[in-house]
A and B are shown apart, each in its own frame.
Chain A
């Protein structure tokens, strides 16, 4: 069982959260309004090829059982230790 520290609610049980997976940095849609080939590849990269390290992973969790905010953490996928400054995210 993970103990995730929410920046708003403090340390809370994993069961209060839903997993959002690796943090994805979305391509700048406005920079590529025409959906060119490169833009499509960028979307493919972001959506499907997100990192899956055996080690520290920057990922997001939704605190549905608390403040209803997305929380960003760095968790080591080998031993589940959570290392970082927990960061809240807008919506």
Chain B
């Protein structure tokens, strides 16, 4: 049946019994790490093991927003580096990622909140990012359809505007990295879940899959929503809970919204695709879940807020709706780097905010795997920061993942 003339995008090699490095999880983060291992370090004795299919995880379930408007230096640094890499990647991968820096608009709903956004904007400027605070007519010019006039319950006081923020085609990210890594000689296997991580004399020695055992020197786990389950294969506990996050797409209409807009009295964010559909997302469902099935309460909540921003949306119908399992850590930030187990490193805890960081994580993790030292940008995101009291809590929400 159809589509036979489409060439396979990655090679399908025979699995060897041993590789230097095994990457568990073939989402964007795992594939980016594979790519940068080959490109920056010439390391290709690598197997990427993906349990289902490439792009089946959160990488192609997210709302594709990229930005770097974070307050804390550690959070900002990694994402701002990613923005620079996004700008180069379509060329580098020879794959159109459709990076569109249309601008990211973060709405404040009170003067106090706008003050806080101004602090964040100033922190970003000190880090070298372009950012503006917009109010009144300047904001209206930036987002012409935004309702600033009605007697809304949560009126808009102003916004933080990051011009370099925008959207990227998410499935292209996973496939673009995978194709380039495959061309460089890295072996990628789909439908190959890791079922066991074997440790010999306190050091990782091999992983088991339904297709057999693979001996290796080091293992890197990057499995997002399945992080606790896969880490537990090595006896490692993680300060992470998995929570359902939903996304929605409306029927397509003519262009009406250029920027990505985020509503903060409750959470609802929206952008319009090149095809004309509106993509919407909001807060997590608020409790632990592996169901990938969302609650109706959240659907209503996200859509109500979207209609407050853009009243015309009430006349559109939803076409599609789906969920992903988001791995949210106890301080809302990622855990990246070595674990207490020799030869085992991990990248997890990105929740519903990790797509934007994909190339930066891959770049930094490749450096760690190649040189066995932790590069500066990911140093703050250590596994042991929770035991040491060095949490990176941008929201100041405490050890409650469902509030991050």
Contact = CB atoms under 8 A, between A and B. Distances in A.
A77 to B, nearest CB: 5
Contacts of B293: 80
A51 B6 CA distance: 44
B307 interface: no
Contacts of A47: 330, 399
A22 B239 contact: no
Contacts of B295: 1-2, 14
B290 interface: yes
B383 to A, nearest CB: 11
Interface stretch (A26-34, A52-60, A62-70, A83-91): A52-60
A41 B240 contact: no
A80 B288 CA distance: 10
B290 A54 contact: yes
Given A47-B399, A77-B291, A79-B291, A54 B242 contact: yes
A8 interface: no
Given A1-B296, A52-B228, A77 B289 contact: yes
Nearest to A79: B291
Interface in B50-108: none
Identify the interface centre among A21, A52, A59, A77: most chain B CB within 10 Å of its CB: A52
Given A21-B402, A52-B288, A77-B290, A41 B387 contact: yes
Contact of B297 (A14, A40, A53, A57): A14
Interface of A: 1-2, 14-15, 19, 21-22, 40-41, 44-45, 47-50, 52-54, 57, 59, 77-80
30 contacts: A1-B296, A1-B297, A2-B287, A2-B295, A14-B295, A15-B297, A19-B286, A19-B287, A21-B241, A21-B287, A22-B241, A45-B237, A47-B399, A48-B330, A48-B386, A48-B387, A49-B238, A49-B239, A52-B238, A52-B288, A54-B242, A57-B288, A59-B287, A77-B242, A77-B289, A77-B291, A78-B290, A78-B291, A80-B289, A80-B293
Interface of B: 228-229, 237-242, 286-291, 293, 295-297, 330, 386-387, 399-402
Given A1-B296, A14-B295, 20 more contacts: A2-B287, A2-B295, A15-B297, A19-B286, A19-B287, A19-B402, A21-B287, A22-B288, A41-B387, A45-B237, A48-B330, A48-B387, A50-B241, A52-B240, A52-B241, A53-B228, A54-B229, A57-B288, A77-B289, A79-B291
